[in-house]
Amino acid sequence: MSGKGYVYKNEPLIFELSAPGRRAYSLPALDVPASDLAEVLPEDQLRREPAALPEVSEVDVVRHFTRLSQRNHGVDLGFYPLGSCTMKYNPKVNEVVANLDGFTGVHPLTPEELVQGALQLMYEMQGYLAEIGGVDEVSLQPAAGAHGEFTGVSIIRAYLEDRGEGHRHKIIIPDSAHGTNPATAVVAGCRTVEVKSDERGGVDLESLKAVVDEDVVCLMLTNPNTLGLFDENIHEIAEIVHEAGGLLYYDGANLNATMGYARPGDAGFDVVHFNLHKTFATPHGGGGPGSGPVGVKKELADFLPVPVVRKTGDRYFLDYSVPKTIGRVKSFHGNFGVVVKAYAYIRSMGPDGLKRVSEDAVLNANFLMRKLARDYHLTYDRICKHEFVVSGVRQKERYGVKTLDIAKRLLDYDFHAPTVYFPLIVPEALMVEPTETESRETLEAFAEAMAAIAREAAEDPDKVTGAPHTTFVKRLDEARAVRQPDVAFKGDLEEK
C-alpha cells in the first residue's frame, strides 16, 4: 500500500478533470426518423440544462479509476481479518462463469421456457442451502444479510398472525448481537428486549427465562456468536423459546464455522438466513452486492416471498402461488449474479470441501488466537470457532494506546485491521476472523505484527497513537465530516 511514488498523492475528483468537449462514449447515429421533441414531450417536462456530468476522455476515465483502485486494500492484496465479515478469497473461476452472457444478459421477465438454465441453477441452489442449513425451503430473494433478517422476521410475524398470535411483538436479542438484528426488529414493527451473555460468552439462560413470555416473536441468534463462541446451551435455549410459543431465528453471518459439523435447522432454528457474500466466497464489492437467502422449516414455507423456483417433471418454473406469502422484498428474483458465484463455489467445493472449509477456518482462528493471547487480553479463554475477540485494555490502561490506534498501526504493516469496538460487551475489542483461505505463514506474519505493535505501545506509544504513517492519507478528521458536511461535489465544471 505504501511507497507507490508514481501515483499522485491526491487523485483529483473526476469533476476536476473535466474539460468541455471531451468525450468517452461512442454511440451509433440515429437510424429511425427523429420525432420532434417539443411535440412528443410537454414543454414543462423538458430538461433545460443537461446534468452537470463530467466531460472526459476514455483515457481519463480509466486512469482515474485505476489510480483510485490502487488506493484501496482488498483480499487480493493481502490479509483482511475483519471479524464477522468472512473476508475469504474470492475464486476467479466464479467471476468468469458469472460473467457468461447466458447469465448477465438475461432479462428477469423472459418467458420461463427460455431461461431453464437460470431457473435450474436457482432451484438447485435452493436445495443446496436447505441441505447445508438443515431447513426445508429456501427463498433466494433477499439482497443481503440484513434484508434476509427482515424477510425472516416478516415471515415469522405473518406465521404468528396466521395462528391468531398477532399480538406478539417482542424480539429477544443478545447483548453480543450485530446491530442489524435490533434494527431489523424495529423495521418489522417489533420491540427489542436485550438478553445478557453469561461468563462463558453464551446466552445467559436465567436472563432468557426472565424475558420470554407470551409476547415473544422470536429470539435472533448468531451461532457461533460474535465472540466466535458456539453456544453450548443452544438446545436448552431453543426449548425455552419454543416453550413460550416463540420462534428461533438464525443469523447466518457466522455459518463459515460449522458447515458439515452443525446445521442450524437441527439445533431448533426455525428460520435461517445465509450470507452468500461471506460463507460462499462471493466478493463484497467494497460494500455490496451481497445476497441473503432465507431458509425455513416447512411450517413456515407458506409464507415465503414470491416467486419461489419449483420443478414439475423436468421443467423449472417461478411459483407465485405461495398461499400466505409475505409478498416481495425487492423486484424480481434476488441477486442472481451473486447466487451464480455462490453456486459455482458450492459445486467446486463439494460436501467434503465445505466441511474442510469450516475445519480450516476454525483451526486458523484458534492458532491465531493463541498467538495473540500472549500480548493481548483474551476475555473468553476457550476454544473458539471461526473468529475470536481479544481486548486492548492492557495497552490502553498501561500506555494510553487505544484499540483504534492499534488498528491504524496495523495498516502500516500492510494488514487490514480487525473489526474494532465490537461486540459491544468487550471493552477495546479487536474481533479477528482469519478465514480458511489464509496460510500458516500469513497468520504468523500477522501475529508478529500484532506482537510488534504491543512492543511499540510499551516503548514508543506515539508511534502507535500517530498511526498510520505510510498510507496515502493520514488519520482523517471524522468530526469535521459531520460538522461541515460535504457529501457531494458542488463545484462548477470548467466552462467552454
Partner 1 sequence: MSGVYPKDFKYTKTHEWIKVTGNIGRVGLSNFAQDHLGEIVFVELPEVGAELKQGESFGVVESVKAVSDCYAPASGKVVRVNEKLVDSPELINSDPHGEGWLFEMELSDPSELDNLMDVEAYEKFEAEEEAAH
Partner 2 sequence: MVHSPYLPNTEADRRAMLAELGLESVEDLFRDIPEKVRFRGSLDLPPALSEPELLTHMKTLAGRNANASEWALFLGGGAYDHFIPSVVGHVIGRSEFYTAYTPYQAEVSQGVLQTIYEYQSLITRLTGMDVANASMYDGASAMAEAALIACAATRRKKVVVPSTVSPEYRETIRTYTAGQRIEVVLAPYDGETGTADLSELEKLVDGDTAAVLLQHPNYFGCLEDPEEVSRLAHGVGALFVIGVDPISLGVLRAPGEYGADIAVGEGQPLGNPLSFGGPYLGFFAATEKLIRRMPGRIAGATVDKDGDRGFVLTFQTREQHIRREKATSNICSNEALNALAAAVYLTVMGREGLVEVAKLCLHKAHYTRERLSALPGFRTPFRAPFFKEFVVSGPRPLEELNRSLAQRRMLVGPDLGRHYPELEGSFLVAVTEKRTRAEIDGLADGLGGLA
Closest to 318 in 3D by CA, of 337, 334, 340:
334
Query: Which of the residues 396 through 415 are near partner 2 (CB under 8 A)?
Result: 407-408, 411
Interacting partner of 400 out of partner 2, partner 1, none (Cβ under 5 to 8 A depending on kind): none
283 vs 295, beta carbon nearer partner 2: 283
Residue 122 one-letter amino acid? M
Interacting partner of 419 out of partner 2, partner 1, none (Cβ under 5 to 8 A depending on kind): partner 2
421 vs 472, beta carbon nearer partner 1: 421
Question: CB of 9 within 8 A of CB of 472?
Answer: yes
DSSP 82: B
As given in the structure block, the three cell numbers for residue 125 are 441452489
201 vs 376, beta carbon nearer partner 2: 201
Q: Which of 9, 107, 483, 496 binds partner 1 (CB under 8 A)?
A: 483
Question: CB of 446 within 8 A of CB of 452?
Answer: no
317 vs 472, beta carbon nearer partner 2: 472
Q: Which of 485, 492, 495, 496 binds partner 2 (CB under 8 A)?
A: 485
Question: CB of 418 within 8 A of CB of 431?
Answer: yes
CA distance 221 to 100: 38
CA distance 58 to 62: 6
204 vs 458, beta carbon nearer partner 2: 204
As given in the structure block, the three cell numbers for residue 386 are 471461526
As given in the structure block, the three cell numbers for residue 277 are 457474500
Question: CB of 389 within 8 A of CB of 426?
Answer: yes
Query: Which of the residues 117 through 146 are near partner 2 (CB under 8 A)?
Result: 117-118, 120-121, 128, 131-132, 134, 143-146
By CB under 8 A, residue 421 contacts partner 1: yes
By CB under 8 A, residue 102 contacts partner 2: yes
Q: Which helix (H) or strand (E) holds 155?
A: helix 145-162
Query: Which of the residues 460 through 479 are near partner 1 (CB under 8 A)?
Result: 478-479
Q: Residues 182-201 vs partner 2: string with x where CB under 8 A?
A: xxxxxxxxx-x---------
Strand order from edge to edge, sheet including 271-273: 137-139, 294-296, 271-273, 247-251, 216-222, 170-174, 191-195
By CB under 8 A, residue 3 contacts partner 2: no
Query: Shortest approach of partner 2 to residue 125 CB, angstroms?
Result: 11
As given in the structure block, the three cell numbers for residue 465 are 497513537
By CB under 8 A, residue 38 contacts partner 2: no
CA distance 324 to 279: 30
As given in the structure block, the three cell numbers for residue 473 are 492519507
Query: Shortest approach of partner 1 to residue 397 CB, angstroms?
Result: 12
By CB under 8 A, residue 482 contacts partner 1: yes
Q: Which helix (H) or strand (E) holds 450?
A: helix 440-459
- Name the segment binding partner 2 (CB under 8 A); options: 42-50, 206-214, 242-250, 447-455: 42-50
Q: Residues 378-397 vs partner 2: string with x where CB under 8 A?
A: ----xx-x------------
284 vs 377, beta carbon nearer partner 2: 284
CA distance 190 to 168: 8
As given in the structure block, the three cell numbers for residue 274 are 445465509
Query: Which of the residues 224 through 283 are near partner 2 (CB under 8 A)?
Result: 229-230, 232, 234-235, 258-263, 266-268, 277, 281, 283
Q: Which of 4, 8, 96, 373 binds partner 2 (CB under 8 A)?
A: 96
**In 3-state terms, what secondary structure has residue 466?**
coil
152 vs 395, beta carbon nearer partner 2: 152
Query: Shortest approach of partner 1 to residue 481 CB, angstroms?
Result: 8
Query: Shortest approach of partner 1 to residue 485 CB, angstroms?
Result: 10
Query: Which of the residues 295 through 324 are near partner 2 (CB under 8 A)?
Result: 305
Interacting partner of 373 out of partner 1, partner 2, none (Cβ under 5 to 8 A depending on kind): none
315 vs 480, beta carbon nearer partner 1: 480
As given in the structure block, the three cell numbers for residue 12 are 483529483
Residue 250 one-letter amino acid? Y
Taking only Cα atoms into account, the Rg of the chain, rounded to an integer number of angstroms, comes to 26
Q: Which of 315, 374, 455, 474 binds partner 2 (CB under 8 A)?
A: 474
350: left (phi over 0), alpha (psi -120 to 50) or beta: left
Interacting partner of 359 out of partner 1, partner 2, none (Cβ under 5 to 8 A depending on kind): partner 2
Question: CB of 443 within 8 A of CB of 371?
Answer: yes
Q: Which residues bind partner 1 (CB under 8 A)?
A: 421, 478-479, 482-483
